[in-house]
Amino acid sequence: MISLPNPTFAEYASQQDARNTIELNVRKWSLMLIDALKDNYRDYAIRGHERSILNAAAPEQDPNSATYQYHLNKIVELKNGGCDIDYEIVSGKKYHKIVFIDGGGQRSVHCFVDRKTGEVYKSASWKSPAKGVRYDLRLIEDREYLFENADWSGGYLYQK
């Protein structure tokens, strides 16, 4: 029988530090994902209000109308950082659940992020992720692609 050497306290402590660092980075990357989702929604909403202004600016429309002013005010609000939606992280035993909160306060799971590995999953339900890892936040390529292509409605979570 081969006996393996027992790890020293220093080795055990350094391994635990590495695990803790990964978990902290996963949390940080999850917050960065939320920022990317909010930015994507802001851009989407601004484009929608700009289209509405173009439609309201037709010759038969009055640019001083309440509708025109509403859309103009919403664009200014969005460009100044306002947002009609929100996201939050709800941490469980295994996953960070990224929860989408719409303007009316309704909540739904946007995605799951494994707390220990940083693997991102599409949600199957409120309680569980769908099978198949969509992205791995530990991989720089995956992380950069995710932050650039994440969209607030979750289309990026379908299989690549």
Convert the pLDDT of each residue in 5-49 to its tens digit: 666 665 665 666 666 788 999 999 999 999 999 999 999 999 999
CA–CA distance, 31 with 88 (Å, rounded to integer): 9
| Local confidence band at 52 (pLDDT 50, 70, 90 cut-offs) | confident
Confidence of residue 3 (pLDDT cuts 50, 70, 90): low
Contact 125, 131 (CB under 8 A): no
Residue with tokens 């037709």: 58
Quickly count: other Cβ atoms within 10 Å of residue 133's Cβ. Answer: 15
CA distances from residue 34 to 6, 41, 71, 154 in whole angstroms, order as listed? 42, 11, 25, 12
Domain ranges of the chain: 12-157
The token pair at 115 is: 């707390």
Is residue 32 within a helix (H) or strand (E), and if so which, with residue range?
Answer: helix 9-56
CA distance 111 to 125: 10
- The whole-model pTM stands at 0.83
Short-list 84, 87, 137, CA closest to 107: 87
- Top pLDDT among 152 and 6 is at 152
pLDDT, one tens digit per residue, over 84-134 is 899 999 999 999 999 999 989 999 999 999 999 999 999 999 999 999 999
Are the C-beta atoms of 131 and 148 separated by less than 8 Å?
Answer: no
What confidence score (pLDDT) does residue 28 get?
96
Question: What does the mean pLDDT of the chain come to?
Answer: 87
User: What is the spatial distance between Cα 51 and Cα 54, in angstroms, rounded to a whole number?
Assistant: 5
Q: What is the pLDDT of residues 125-144, one digit of tens each?
A: 999 999 999 999 999 999 99
